[in-house]
Structure 1
């Protein structure tokens, strides 16, 4: 028996709306997939794992949706319209819902993948339904060509717009709502075309209701983001912004100002001096004439503050990926007071660039190199802890120069910590580990390195709040639970550090 095709409508206008809808639904579908993958990376870390599993689950769900489309008999237009509205509601609210759920649900991954599977299944229904609706309006060859062309163009639009425009300009929550509204627009366009050939009252009411929720969500996106972050950080949020590269959040409770990048604590103003004195002075103080200093990372200007204490330092180059980070800590009066205006110093030059690419192009040489990257929670950061990277750093470190690397906790993640030393040694450097207690982080580790034997004692300036000539030598003593152990070399092709870091910190936090 032939399938019921439903009432006839104006063929050219319907065909145009449906082909245009292919472009819109393809763009929206990929945006929801990218939102889920990016959000999972922000909240759970290890971007490769999160994107791989989210994309895999999403594509699997699309396959389920395509398979289920065989059970749709008749009124394909009506069902397609309702599927659009369900996708608009789920996809549009997906980012806001996941942000709000993360601090309060015990198993966030269950919520994440349930939503991914639901959206993916609905998206998988769309193209088969569209093909069946259009089959009597185009020759088969032309139909497949048109549908796939619009589908792939939509995917390209989403993949370009998402990182370059949507996340930095709108943020993830607003992006979800905007594309949910785009799905509703497709449904409303179909309702308009079909208004003379079928009853559309209930569909129109449903579309307007979904649209109202999405517009309301878009209007209150900033408040939704703040609710989620207050619940997540359990501290008053005083600044929050998504950039092309990360989510920057500042919280304040009393006199304690804290910086979080992608949910990970970077410093607390109450004790950051311990971390930054320990990071900078064991290396800087071991060079007799540290005229030229390179800081990799450290966009908050706090390591630069310590470096600029030394009057022997004539030039500092700071390389940090995110211009929003360095701008914020240069222009905010409160934050500039914390770093003592280091980012506006005439002795300092800021380079906003990816450190891996910058270091490979770098010429000249440096007396001291301070490496202050976030922990290797994902492969994009892990590459900055590899043998390849350290070889390039060693190339521009003067023969008598000294470098130091923040290296995570030797107590919580000893394998990860000592992997940094093994990797520096594989790059041809002499490495020496040391550690300090920072209350916000606990026992924290650093690794000093140079081309030969490292000087025994550093010169320390007056006015330091943590390091003294008596306490500095004690930092090189490791008790048995933090002592060195055999570890692999972290290379680009194995990223051993990212895996051990995720395992050790996951065990500690779990």
Structure 2
């Protein structure tokens, strides 16, 4: 009996931590700011476990029966966790309350398990051995869960299937315990019935998990989904509607093929008006290959384009999916394009090559992992690898919807010794959008714009650097690595913008 129940400890620890990670990961996908989401979820979960541990003192009778009932309940609520949260996000205004209620419930149930288990085993194993074994197995289970979740389950199964799988693991262990201890259980028939029903429900959920995921995605995205992929870093979704192809990362629109050329011309071509015939070009982010497409179109003679994008699934998708390869004109397949799937922050710090043109095409600074790529430390790294006559361009979010964030990025770049020229354009899909040009020296006279483009001409190029009063420069703090004030600015402005629409 004792060793059978000790085996349950590993399952309890593994499944409990997996549910916590599912909730935190899902919250960071849907609500952004991963540091805040993981911190609040972990805090609430641990606090709830404390409540569960305290409440365990009120369980006096039929402890083995109660332990198995709790195991069944944890399996059920943990199994349906991801599906329910994804579904409720679409239809409930106060989603955070629902999220925290789920985490609290599961935390209380998991918190009940170990104290009750200790009381069941206290007469079977010497107390000092019992505590050491239970806690050791608990920590081993936690380590196991923390490793398999990001490296195996999320990339291969996604959150919904992973949730069902570990709910089933909880339930199967409960079923095994019911059978092993059937002679000692007072509520054997009730427990076997409860456990069988939960297992059946979770098996059905697992069998239809892909269908559930597709249905939830279709509710979330207005157009037909033609591609979806979950990686350890993000969830990629590509939708199609007649002539329009859209890319979403973690639910956030990255581009629409109807007007992406406006954004990518504005990202690349103004820099080319200040630096003629760049030989070594570096693209940081931009794993869709669309910025590279513009360079290949407008720069005839160059040595090499280096692309650094964290997610190999991103560059693989835009190198193999025929719809997306047509969109970027096969730019990622060009011989002169070299791809590194690495963290741009670390890569630039270690880089020893100097570049004529560097383009930063990162997603908006919605979390701390992205925020470091807009920090003064990062721009110092870039300064070290930009040639003295070189030009830097940085995607800098919307100066209209995120005015403080935009000028924070510009001020941060300037604080590292760069001369800056902020500019903006209108992209119908996104609205007013901003960029920052930067140079280590004073900007030379701008070359006449004579490139063949769909959107930009000399008149538009000149007007881009003029800002109307409502989006003109404002003072901000510098985005430093140790405080990342930009994340706070952006989160506040994004929340305010979302309430306006």
Q: Is the 8 A contact 2:2 2:125 kept in 1?
A: no
Instruction: Please tell me whether the aligned partners of residues 70 and 109 of structure 2 are also in contact (alpha carbons under 8 angstroms).
Output: yes
Q: Which structure 2 residue ranges, 5 or more long, are not aligned?
A: none
Match of residue 273, structure 1, among 256, 261, 268: 261
3-state secondary structure, aligned to 1:113? helix
Shift of 1:459: 5.0
Structure 2 CA distance for aligned equivalents of residues 285 and 344 of structure 1: 26
Q: Does 1:486 align with 2:475?
A: yes
Q: Residue 165 of structure 1: CA displacement?
A: 1.1
Match of 1:163 in 2: 150
For residue 185 of structure 1, the aligned residue among 129, 149, 172 is 172
| 2:134 is the alignment partner of 1:141 | no
Q: CA deviation at 1:458?
A: 4.0
Partner of 1:252: 240
Matched residue, 2:452: 463
Q: Distance in 1 between matches of 2:182 and 2:450?
A: 80
Within a 5 Å distance, the mapping from 1:97-246 to structure 2 comes to: 97-198=84-185, 200-246=188-234
2:161 alignment partner, SS class? helix
Aligned equivalent of 1:10? none
Secondary structure of the residue that 1:476 maps to in structure 2?
coil
Q: How does 1:297-308 map to 2 (within 5 A)?
A: 297-308=285-296
Aligned match of 1:322 = 311
Q: TM-score, normalised by structure 1?
A: 0.96
Please tell me whether the aligned partners of residues 282 and 458 of structure 1 are also in contact (alpha carbons under 8 angstroms). no
Q: Which residue of 2 aligns with 1:440?
A: 429
Shift of 1:233: 2.1
SS at match of 2:90: coil
Indicate the SS of the match to 2:438. Answer: strand
Corresponding residue number in structure 1 for 2:328:
339
- Return the match for 2:410 from 421, 434, 450: 421
- Partner of 2:226, secondary structure, is strand
* Selected match of 2:48 from 34, 43, 61: 61
How many Å separate the matches in 2 of 1:145 and 1:69?
20
Task: Select which of 229, 232, 252 maps to 1:264.
Answer: 252
- 1:345-424 aligned at under 5 Å gives the runs 345-424=334-413
TM-score by length of 2: 0.98
- Structure 1, unaligned runs of 5 or more: 1-13
The one-character-per-residue Cα deviations of 1:81-140 (angstroms, maximum 9, x if unpaired) are 011111111101101111111111111111101111111110110000110111011011
Equivalents in 2 of 1:235, 1:372: separation in Å? 25
Q: Deviations over 1:306-339 (max 9, x none)?
A: 1111102221000000001100000111100100
TM-aligned CA deviation for residue 494 of structure 1: 1.0
Aligned mates of 2:364, 2:492 — CA distance in 1: 13
| 1:289 to partner: Cα distance | 2.4
Deviation >6 Å, runs of 4+ = none
Q: Does 1:284 align with 2:272?
A: yes
How much has 1:455 moved relative to structure 2? 3.0
Deviations 1:269-302 (A, max 9, x none): 1000000000001112311220110000000000
Does residue 1:472 correspond to 2:454, yes or no? no
Q: What's the CA shift string for 1:241-282, capped at 9, x where partnerless? A: 110100111111221111011111100010000000000011
Aligned residues: 497
Deviation at 1:462, TM superposition (A): 4.0
* Structure 1 residue matching 2:464: 3-state secondary structure: helix
* Correspondence for 1:5: none
1:214 to 1:459, Cα distance in 2 relative to 1, 3 A: farther
Instruction: Report deviation, 1:219.
Output: 1.1
Contact 1:32 1:176 (C-alpha < 8 Å) held by counterparts: yes
Distance in 1 of aligned mates of 2:160 and 2:143: 21
